[in-house]
Structure 1
Amino acid sequence: MDGEFKKTELIAKYGLLPRDLRKIDSSLLPHILVRPTAILINLLHLRVLIKHDRVLVLDAYGTTDSYTQSVFVYDLTGKLAQKDNSRQPGGLSYELRALEAVLISVTTGLEAEFEGVSGPVVRVLRELEEDIDRDKLRHLLVYSKKLGTFEQKARLVRDAIDDILEADDDLVSMYLTEKAQGKFREENDHTEVEMLLESYHKVCDEIVQVSGNLVSNIRNTEEIVKAILDANRNSLMLLDLKFSIGTLGIGSGAFIAGLYGMNLKNFIEESDLGFLGVTSWSFIFAAVVCAYGMIKLRKVQRVSMWGEQGKRNRGNWRDVAAMPPLPGESREERLKRSREAKHQAWSVYKQRIPNAEGTNISSPVVRRGKLDEA
């Protein structure tokens, strides 16, 4: 509540560097900077300077998230009002209690924001399972963008805490009270602050994992919706092709009727069966054209890994796989050579084993046992 400060005053009073305030003031990326006499924190809505005996909250009021900052200041006041119990088991010093208040406010804000984002996403995903609507897809697109932004924000906070956990010298330098009293710890003696950061790192990691799963559900739903729309589009195209084939058949029959309907002498109009014959032939020709078109359409609908030539010549894939290819040998030649080897083995088997007639060479017993002996 002290008022406004100039950056030069903060740098001179708290022993900072200009680049430190630049990361806090202008950078949107989360940072936890440890300096010899202070800890600078820039996480989401909080910009905090922690000393061994005071905490400076930068721009606490007048921002778009002033309510969350007000709650943080209230919680921070309650934690700092406690007596210094760092000598007791499980107790924390002044700066660590301030750091815990910051992490609590950040993780609470992430959880509240995730609940506000995930609720509409889950509702839209549930509605899309029952009915696919354009408005629902548009809402899903908007919510997926918000969720992606939130996931990136939570991931950056987790990475900022993770970077501090990987630096042992920064963890030791966070004991500002002991440094002010002239006590210095060894490089690996930072159990309290490490456990504190790890607990909130797990909370941030859980939020990142849950939001990532929700993003994956959105992507899977989008893929399923695309597959359904593609199937419906294919059905409409198939229906259009069937109508086109029917129109082609009717047009073919009408072509014959049109030939006989011209004002030209063809001497069939003198016959009593002329009308019936031409009509019957027109219907038969139209039916043949429609049937031929439907057969071709049905062949096009069939999807195969082998293709048209592979369907006729693929044979048994086990026979082809068992025979190693020769240089320059085609697949058909390899299949033929495999069949000849199979018949030759069967001939040897009939000579060595009596009463072999009627035995199937493809049976497991013959293939694994007696045929190997032969």
Structure 2
Amino acid sequence: MVAEGVVTVKRQTPLSSRSWISIDATGKRTVLDEDKYAIMQRVQIHARDLRILDPNLCYPSTILGRERAIVVNLEHIKAIITSQEVLIRDSSDVNLIPVLEEFQRRLPVVQGDAEAGEEDESPFEFRALEVALEAICSLLAARTMELETSAYPALDELTSKISSRNLERVRKLKSAMTRLTARVQKVRDELEQLLDDDDDMADIYLSRKLADVSSSINVSNEPLWYPTSPTIGSKFSRASRMSWDDEIDVEELEMLLEAYFMQIDNTLNKLTALHEYIDDTEDYINIQLDNHRNQLIQLELMLSSGTICVSMYSMIAGIFGMRIPNTWNEDHGYVFKWVVSLTGTFCVVLFVIILSYARFKGLVGF
């Protein structure tokens, strides 16, 4: 008997693991369907560097300078920048669409004023890196502004009315603020670490390294070649930097990174101010709750004091209300008035004494 309806299923490789978008110096956009080994050979980077850009893995924000490429992992922007093109992961993130358009618009060399004869002399890798930094800083700044717009009114409403709905709303906003702060902090730390190390910034000068290697090889009348191994390339990069001046000139890149470092630091300061405002609101709410708790304690003290006095009055009334034959119960009806009056007066005086003592000790505030 032959089985019917048998379907052969072929496992397909996810598109995100092979699909890349290439944008060259002219702004031309090309979709590449290559595996990781072809990409590694194309840009001369290690497998561990390419693994940082895997969208299925979670790596912190990173900017790495290699011999012939810059590995950029900034949130949704996962790119490899060379001196001639930018390779970007074809992600389904909607935030990546305007970034691709910005790459296409700004990567081509923009001619300056025709009369002045000026043009944009920034290296290709700097223009690409600037687009990536501007995109991520603008995105985080916009998220921070949205959070501020929602958080401050919610906190003010909570201070005016403490309710479960307002508390839950503030709790969600605080969780969102914590996650956003962590994202901003990672980008800021990466930029700060890059600014603190001149050698790391020198690794990002791809055009300068290629020009330096080309000139040194032409002087020695040897053919121009590029290292096929990233390890050899790293050694070659260090050797080429030794031919530079004693003080590595990274002023152009340093100014670029400092501009976006100040922007991301300003975003972090806004989040820090929001965090402090939330802490101040929590302290204010705790003070209010403590005040209400103290008022309840004062009320409990007053009720307890009144209960003691009434209990004493009830005890005396119970004693005189016993049906026990006694000689003083006979022909002494006027005693009832004195017992009731004196007992009531004694209880009231005792109540006043207790409250006065509590006020003297600072237990009540009235």
**TM-score range relative to shorter protein:** 0.7 to 0.9
Tell me which residue corresponds to 1:94.
124
What letter is aligned with 2:32? G
CA contact (8 A) 2:159 2:285 kept: no
Q: Is contact 1:252–1:285 with CA below 8 Å preserved after alignment?
A: no
Amino acid at match of 1:152: A
Match of 2:73 in 1: 42
Does 2:305 match 1:275? no
- Match of 2:323, SS state, is coil
Deviations 1:62-93 (A, max 9, x none): 2xxx22211000011111122589x9687311
SS at 1:301's partner residue? coil
Q: Which residue of 2 aligns with 1:134?
A: 164
- Aligned equivalent of 2:63, options 23, 32, 38: 32
Task: Please give the alpha-carbon distance, in whole angstroms, between the structure 2 residues aligned to 1:79 and 1:13.
Answer: 23
Aligned equivalent of 2:308: 248
Runs of 4+ with deviation above 4 angstroms: 87-90
For residue 233 of structure 1, the aligned residue among 271, 293, 311 is: 293
Equivalent residue for 2:211, pick from 171, 175, 181: 181
Relative distance call for 1:112 and 1:203 in structure 2 (3 A) is: same
- Residues 299-351 of structure 1: per-residue CA shift (max 9 Å, x gap): 44359xxxxxxxxxxxxxxxxxxxxxxxxxxxxxxxxxxxxxxxxxxxxxxxx
Greater relative contact order, per chain length (Cα 8 Å cut-off, separation 6+): 2
Paired positions, count = 298
Deviates more, 1:74-83 or 1:196-205: 74-83
AA matched with 2:98 = V
Deviation at 1:283, TM superposition (A): 0.3
Q: Give the Cα–Cα distance (whole angstroms) in 2 for the partners of residues 223 and 88 of structure 1.
A: 58
Report matched runs for 1:107-126 at 5 Å. Answer: 107-126=137-156
**Do the aligned residues in 2 keep the contact of 1:46 with 1:57 (CA within 8 Å)?**
yes
Measure the CA separation in 2 of the matches of 1:285 and 1:131. 44
Structure 1 residue 41: Cα displacement: 0.6
CA offset digits 1:238-268 (Å, max 9, x no partner)? 1122011111111111110110000012323
Q: What amino acid does structure 2 have at the position aligned with 1:69?
A: L
Residue 137 of structure 1: how far off its partner (Å)? 1.6
> 2:45 aligned with 1:16, yes or no?
yes
Gaps of 5+ in 1: 304-374
Candidates 305, 325, 350, aligned match of 1:265: 325
Please report the TM-score for the alignment, with normalisation by the length of structure 1: 0.75
Structure 1 residue identity aligned to 2:259: S
Can you list the C-alpha shifts for 1:134-166, whole angstroms capped at 9, x where unaligned? 211221111011111111111110111111111
Cα distance in 2 between the residues matched to 1:202 and 1:195 = 11
**Match in the other structure for 1:164:** 194
Task: List alignment gaps of at least 5 residues for structure 2.
Answer: 1-20, 22-30, 214-240
Question: Matches of 2:258 and 2:179 in 1, distance apart?
Answer: 24
How far did residue 113 of structure 1 move?
0.9
SS at match of 1:263: coil
User: Residue 191 of structure 1 aligns with which residue?
Assistant: 251
Higher helix share: 1
Query: What percent identity do the matched residue pairs reach?
Result: 27
The secondary structure found in structure 1 opposite 2:179 is: helix
CA-based RMSD of the aligned residues comes to 2.1
Q: 1:291 aligns with which of 343, 352, 356?
A: 352
Separation (CA, whole Å) in 2 of partners of 1:98 and 1:254: 90
Task: Determine the C-alpha separation between the residues in 2 that align with 1:243 and 1:125.
Answer: 36
